[in-house]
Amino acid sequence: MQMAVGVKQMLNGERLDSNPTSKFEIMNPAHINASPRDANPSHGEKRAGGTRLEDSMMDGQKGITSHGRADRHTKRVILATSTPFADTIVRSLYRDPDVELRLIVPQGLGVGQEDMNNVECYEDAPQRVTDTSQPLRGQFNMTAANLADWADLLIISPMDAGTLGSMVCGLTTSLTLTLLRGWDVSKSIILVPGMTTRQWVAPITRRHLDDIQVFWPWVKVLPPILSKFEAPDRLAELPWDGRESFYDEIKKALGWSVGIGIDGRNTPSQEVEIPGKENGLDEKPNGIISPIANLQSSDSFSSQTTITHPTPTQTALPSEILSMIFEALGDWETAAAVGIYTRLPTPDQWKPLIPRSHSFQCTLEYAILKRPFSEIEQYLSSASPWKPLSSLSAHLILKFSRIDILDFIITSRSDIFWSTPRLLNLPFRASAIYGNTALLDWWLHCPELPKKDYLTDAMDSASRAGYIHVLDWWRNSGLPLLYTERALESASAEGHISVLSWWRNASECSPEHSLPLKVGKSVLLAAQSGRTNSIAWWDQSGIPYSYTESVARIASTHGHVHVLELWYKLKGTKMIFDNQVLVGATKNGHVDVLEWWRRSGLHVEFKTCDIEEALEDAITGSEEKVRRWWERNGLNLGVGTSEWMKVKVL
């Protein structure tokens, strides 16, 4: 596939006129001693949009632009590119009065378009010290250092496999690589790999990308532009699915909206001020502002797409940090809802629900995830009577605290609410799954739901999940508190000491507000789960509990030697157990438990018949090692009936 021979081809598909009298000037890196502005005297001429580039520069002392706008700052962008990929973004960045653009292009490229004659362009020529026609290393480094200080954002698209490897190795054999090596890490870099499909799946590429993720966290790697070989001698470029995230990352890095229409022209857009229903934004419980209305799957910036400017009272993490958080959590849905690019694969359940293009009508699930409330309202209004929402739709409504959707459903389409089981069971799901008291507040104060009926699993499961704030909500709700022994049992099994302490403190309040403790088999559940912290808490709590005689048996059956050690430390010679401690350990193949009992010095009895039966019932794969252990410790299965029933001591 023949590569582009000029940035003009990027813009309008035409080949660059090689006329040396073209007004556009490719700057050799050696000329950096004088700034590019000085090197190009015509830089002050008016741009295509009628706005002088110099007029948009920031007055460093006064903190205002010559436009008189104190709230906008000129952003300086460097684009290193060699293909027609950059057609729309080059034109739009250039025409934005708040963006100053410079290009790094391969040797021989230039711009022939009249309205872009004032763009500074640097030659990305390989640095060969032995070639006297090339700049010396000092001049080369000076060029890169000057650009690194000047720019606010570096965009490299595409980066081939060789340049990617050179970048990771720290080579400085071109201007782009030198700029990367000396880049200010407080500024962002957007990188789009461009290579063949076989190069992309090669293990060395995966290693390079992992190195960038670990050692270059300021570099945002986007989905690659891939190509494949087609006979006889052509590389065919495959459809690229990273354009939307590419545009989103540019906007985030610039700090304001850069509207790009399909034709490459700037489209007017307004800054989002306060999130709310009127602009399609929702404030999530974790404090992330989710532009649900403005995230659109398109091949270009939408005129509706905007970015929220952080206010003095609003803190925002860098998108790179958010991306790493979402990847660690594996939360594709939240990342998609708030417009943060991640490398998480699209879940299988979502693949058939995402529209292929704007010509396809999106599903209700996708509308809840990304579209404004007005579209969601249209979907719900046209839904068939008494047709329940899908499980995924109900999940998204509850997960993202879409109170606006719940209000509309309960007031305008109550049939949907009463036919959707996940919404009917809102108290349980809000308490146990989402830990969301905002949903509980809505349910409690909703006039269309006069009966506040709920089941015991709401508080029981909140205890299991460790949601103390949910338990506080229920206690302060004024409703009768419904719970069972499972509340303390599940908290003990999960090791939630803070929840156990909450229940104890609640039981010690004045009689009219106290909550009776339902201990149940809490200690046994803790032993079964191997939660020594829960067992120690119960022993020190002063709360009476039962089933102490079964703790050793349960711990032995489930192979928890650390529980046996703690229990023996707490109870000493008063530790209660029976011969089942050896039977359960034998049946489940826990040789380490058998060895602990042998070394404990305790008087542990057993019968040969019980051990033989346990060996016969032993789980697959463990019977041999357990049998060998018993043989080493004196068990003889070939004895008579009297010996077979005789009680022995380990």
CATH number at residue 138: 3.40.50.1950
What region does 552 belong to: left with phi over 0, alpha with psi -120 to 50, or beta? Answer: alpha
Name the more confident of 635 and 237.
237
How confident is the model over 6-23, as pLDDT tens digits?
Answer: 433 333 333 333 333 333
Q: Which stretch of 171-180, 209-218, 557-566, 570-579 has the lowest confidence by average pLDDT? A: 570-579
Q: Based on the domain organization, do 498 and 636 belong to the same domain?
A: no
Question: Is residue 247 in a domain?
Answer: no
Quick one: pLDDT at residue 359? 55
Which one of 479, 511, 546 terminates a domain? 546
Quick one: pLDDT at residue 109? 55
Question: Is residue 391 in a domain?
Answer: no
Any idea what DSSP says for residue 283? E
Question: Is residue 310 in a domain?
Answer: no
Any idea what DSSP says for residue 388? P
In degrees and rounded to multiples of 5, residue 636 shows phi and psi of -120, 110
In the predicted structure, residue 278 carries a pLDDT above the cut 90: no
In the predicted structure, residue 321 carries a pLDDT above the cut 90: no
What is the domain count for the chain? 3
Quick one: pLDDT at residue 141? 85
232-257 burial, b at 16+ Cβ within 10 Å, e below that, comes to eeeeeeeebebbbbbbbbbbbbbebb
Label residue 430 by pLDDT band (50, 70, 90).
very high
Q: What angle do CA 568, 569, 571 make, to 5 degrees?
A: 60
Count other Cβ atoms within 10 Å, centred on residue 210. 11
Identify which of 12-26, 81-95, 110-124, 315-329 has the greatest average pLDDT: 315-329
Quick one: pLDDT at residue 231? 79
In degrees and rounded to multiples of 5, residue 128 shows phi and psi of -120, 105
Percent of the chain with pLDDT over 70: 71
Which one of 221, 243, 272 terminates a domain? 221
CATH number at residue 613: 1.25.40
Q: Based on the domain organization, do 534 and 558 belong to the same domain?
A: no
Label residue 299 by pLDDT band (50, 70, 90).
very low
Q: Based on the domain organization, do 494 and 569 belong to the same domain?
A: no
Which one of 163, 196, 221 terminates a domain? 221
In the predicted structure, residue 72 carries a pLDDT above the cut 60: no
Quick one: pLDDT at residue 439? 94
How confident is the model over 369-428, as pLDDT tens digits?
Answer: 988 898 899 889 988 999 999 999 999 999 999 999 999 999 999 999 999 999 989 999
Name the more confident of 50 and 496.
496
326 vs 341: CA distance, rounded Å: 9
Name the more confident of 609 and 222.
222
H or E element that contains 235: strand 234-237
Quick one: pLDDT at residue 644? 62
Question: Is residue 417 in a domain?
Answer: no
Q: Based on the domain organization, do 65 and 211 belong to the same domain?
A: yes
> Which residue segment(s) compose the domain that 525 sits in?
437-546
Average pLDDT, the chain: 74
DSSP 477-529: S-SPP---THHHHHHHHHT-HHHHHHHHHHHTS-TTT------TTHHHHHHHH
Q: Based on the domain organization, do 212 and 71 belong to the same domain?
A: yes
Quick one: pLDDT at residue 544? 87
Question: Is residue 496 in a domain?
Answer: yes
Identify which of 90-104, 127-141, 239-253, 560-574 has the greatest average pLDDT: 560-574
Question: Is residue 618 in a domain?
Answer: yes
123 burial level (CB within 10 Å; 0-12, 13-18, 19+):
buried
Helix (H, G, I), strand (E, B) or coil at 20: coil
578 vs 566: CA distance, rounded Å: 18
Quick one: pLDDT at residue 233? 77
Name the more confident of 236 and 296.
236
Question: Is residue 322 in a domain?
Answer: no
Q: Based on the domain organization, do 188 and 51 belong to the same domain?
A: yes
CA atoms within 13 A on the CB side of 448: 14
Distance from the Cα of residue 351 to its chain's centroid: 18
249 vs 243: CA distance, rounded Å: 10
Q: Based on the domain organization, do 573 and 450 belong to the same domain?
A: no
In the predicted structure, residue 137 carries a pLDDT above the cut 80: no
Q: Based on the domain organization, do 539 and 494 belong to the same domain?
A: yes
Q: Which stretch of 122-131, 196-205, 268-277 has the lowest confidence by average pLDDT? A: 268-277
Quick one: pLDDT at residue 122? 85
Question: Is residue 32 in a domain?
Answer: yes
Q: Based on the domain organization, do 517 and 556 belong to the same domain?
A: no
Q: What is the CA radius of gyration of the chain?
A: 34
Nearest to 209 by CA among 253, 248, 176, 167: 167
As a whole number of angstroms, the longest Cα–Cα distance in the chain is: 113
Q: Based on the domain organization, do 130 and 189 belong to the same domain?
A: yes
Q: What is the mean pLDDT of residues 228-247?
A: 81
How confident is the model over 593-633, as pLDDT tens digits?
Answer: 888 888 888 887 877 777 778 787 777 667 778 888 887 87
Quick one: pLDDT at residue 189? 92
Label residue 496 by pLDDT band (50, 70, 90).
very high
Q: Based on the domain organization, do 63 and 156 belong to the same domain?
A: yes
Distances (CA, A) of 78 to 81, 149, 167: 10, 11, 17
Q: What is the mean pLDDT of residues 305-315?
A: 41
41 burial level (CB within 10 Å; 0-12, 13-18, 19+):
exposed
Q: What share of the chain is helix, strand, coil (3-state, %, to 5)?
A: 45, 10, 45
Q: Based on the domain organization, do 124 and 166 belong to the same domain?
A: yes
